Chain A
Amino acid sequence: MKTSLYSRHLALGGRMVGFAGWRMPIQYASQLAEHHAVRQDAGMFDVSHMLALDVEGAGATDFLRKLLANDVARLSDHGKALYSCMCNPGGGVVDDLIVYRLADDRYRMVLNAGCAEKDLEWLETHGVGFSINLTSRRDLSMIAVQGPNARAKALEVLPADFRHASEALKPFHAAEFGDWLIARTGYTGEDGFEVTLPNDAAESLWQALLDVAVAPCGLGARDTLRLEAGMNLYGQDMDEETSPLAAGLAWTIAWQPEDRQFIGRPALEEQRQLGDNPRFVGVLLEGRGVLRNHLPLFVGDQPIGEITSGGFSPTLNRAIGLARVGDPAAQACEVEIRGKRLAVRLAPPPFVRNGKPRIDL
């Protein structure tokens, strides 16, 4: 599948790769330069492969309060966004998502591209008996504009009548203008907007952003940025077999009110009471090298866990990762790379936030 910006990616020399059935740019000229553009100035990502899904109807709030581990009743005002896991009865994660409350009985969910199909099936199955309509919005594209100068640059080129309200948006809030949704959200650890807009308007906004020197960025930079920001990636850091409690996402579970029976609650309650969940931590390689997914971690001869997302931090110029470890107290351990043991420090993420390192090297 191709997004409405596909020909723009080709024209910009994007190296296209397959991602969840979509042809997406992994990078244009340089993944490192793209990463730094977002940390230091402004970059943009085509994230139209993600699925925008509208949930509407008198039962929409009750439905989402049953389906999501976080509680949409916390969304007191229209336009507010919430991050949540959608769990299965075992407490595993079906998907993680952002949901916006657009009106009293109308929500917009943004779902991972790789999960879109199974999510739809899941939502339809569990929607039986609720007065709701689910609408896939494949008529819409999404462009994330991120970086310290992202909002200022985007405000220059957004339609004039959106500017005032968009400029006034607080973090994690969105404003709707017909089919456009301007949200002050992102997946990079920087300020910025995620702009949802009709497919036929996407190319001209993309070009306008290029014209104000917003750097086009691929999925590669998106991954190193989110890793530095300590944000989980579905399928790597958590999946249907992994509880949010084992993926650093306990903060996203709304335990109160106690009588809200969301899917997965009994299993998660039990895990919480047992209290033996693995730690989900950040890892920093003390020396040179690159951390990769699934590398094993050791204290002495004892395996204590593995890296769930490993990579290289362009901001720190060091290898970093996220890891799940069984050891409740270890501050340091070793990673095995190609048969060699190398020293690794365990530290809470994020590694970088708003352009600044958050860890001493």
Chain B
Amino acid sequence: MSDLPQDLKYSKSHEWLRAEADGSFTIGITHHAQQQLGDLVFVELPEVGGNVEAEAESGVVESVKAASDLYSPIAGEIVAVNEELADSPELVNESPYDKGWIFRLKPADASDADALMDAAAYAAFVEEE
């Protein structure tokens, strides 16, 4: 887990969450998650403008092998999705924390993010799993 960015928060369902300067949060799946899934070939993105509850299904990532639900770590309104994933789902494999981001949301309550794991806690969680 040496490649785990220190500035992100992490969920038990293997999403990461980054606080942006404008108060929104960017969400994607972790390196560990993409590695477990294998080569991604399809990402079903949530709809911009829609509201998601915390830990609710907000999309699907599918690899050649399997489909896996994507959960929003916190509640909020979807303000952007990574349209590039429609043509290039492999960005999630190649660059899970950067070019492979999945969606951005305006949080219902920004302090919800505090309850998520930091990098050290997530590393320990993955070790245990």
A positions within 8 Å CB-CB of B:
26-27, 30-32, 220, 224, 288-290, 292, 311-312, 314, 319, 338
**B39-79, CB < 8 A from A:** 39, 41-42, 44, 60, 62-65, 67
Are B42 and A32 in contact, with the CB atoms below 8 A?
A: no
Please report the C-alpha to C-alpha distance between residue A346 and residue B42 in the assembled complex, in whole angstroms: 21
Residue with the greatest number of chain B CB neighbours at <10 A, chosen from A31, A220, A290, A311? A290
How many whole Å from A283's CB to the nearest CB in chain B?
16
**Residues of the B chain whose Cβ atoms lie less than 8 Å from the Cβ of A319:** 42
Please report the C-alpha to C-alpha distance between residue A69 and residue B63 in the assembled complex, in whole angstroms: 37
Task: Report the nearest B residue to A34, measured CB to CB.
Answer: B39
How many whole Å from B36's CB to the nearest CB in chain A?
9
User: Which residue of B38, B41, B67 is within 8 Å of A27 (Cβ)?
Assistant: B38
**Residues of the A chain whose Cβ atoms lie less than 8 Å from the Cβ of B39:** 30-32
Are A220 and B67 in contact, with the CB atoms below 8 A?
A: no
Please report the C-alpha to C-alpha distance between residue A319 and residue B41 in the assembled complex, in whole angstroms: 9
How many whole Å from A224's CB to the nearest CB in chain B?
6
**Does B86 interact with chain A (Cβ within 8 Å)?**
yes
How many whole Å from B23's CB to the nearest CB in chain A?
32
Task: Report the nearest A residue to B36, measured CB to CB.
Answer: A15
**Residues of the B chain whose Cβ atoms lie less than 8 Å from the Cβ of A289:** 42, 44, 62
**Residues of the B chain whose Cβ atoms lie less than 8 Å from the Cβ of A32:** 39, 41, 64, 90
How many whole Å from A292's CB to the nearest CB in chain B?
7
**Residues of the B chain whose Cβ atoms lie less than 8 Å from the Cβ of A312:** 41-42, 62, 64
Interface residues in B, total, Cβ within 8 A? 13
30 contacts between A and B (CB under 8 A): A26-B65, A27-B38, A30-B38, A31-B38, A31-B39, A31-B63, A31-B65, A32-B41, A32-B64, A220-B38, A220-B64, A220-B65, A224-B64, A288-B42, A288-B86, A289-B44, A289-B62, A290-B42, A290-B64, A290-B67, A292-B67, A311-B64, A312-B41, A312-B42, A312-B64, A314-B41, A314-B64, A319-B42, A338-B44, A338-B60
A-B pairs, top 4 by smallest CB distance, nearest first, are A32-B39, A290-B62, A312-B41, A312-B64
Please report the C-alpha to C-alpha distance between residue A31 and residue B65 in the assembled complex, in whole angstroms: 9
Q: A31-B65, A311-B64, A314-B64 are in contact. Are A290 and B38 (CB under 8 A)?
A: no
Please report the C-alpha to C-alpha distance between residue A319 and residue B64 in the assembled complex, in whole angstroms: 9
Task: Report the nearest B residue to A17, measured CB to CB.
Answer: B65
**Residues of the B chain whose Cβ atoms lie less than 8 Å from the Cβ of A220:** 38, 64-65
**B54-113, CB < 8 A from A:** 60, 62-65, 67, 86, 90
Please report the C-alpha to C-alpha distance between residue A32 and residue B88 in the assembled complex, in whole angstroms: 14
Please report the C-alpha to C-alpha distance between residue A289 and residue B60 in the assembled complex, in whole angstroms: 10
Please report the C-alpha to C-alpha distance between residue A27 and residue B90 in the assembled complex, in whole angstroms: 16
Please report the C-alpha to C-alpha distance between residue A293 and residue B81 in the assembled complex, in whole angstroms: 29
Please report the C-alpha to C-alpha distance between residue A248 and residue B49 in the assembled complex, in whole angstroms: 47
**Residues of the A chain whose Cβ atoms lie less than 8 Å from the Cβ of B63:** 31
How many whole Å from A239's CB to the nearest CB in chain B?
22
Task: Report the nearest B residue to A32, measured CB to CB.
Answer: B39
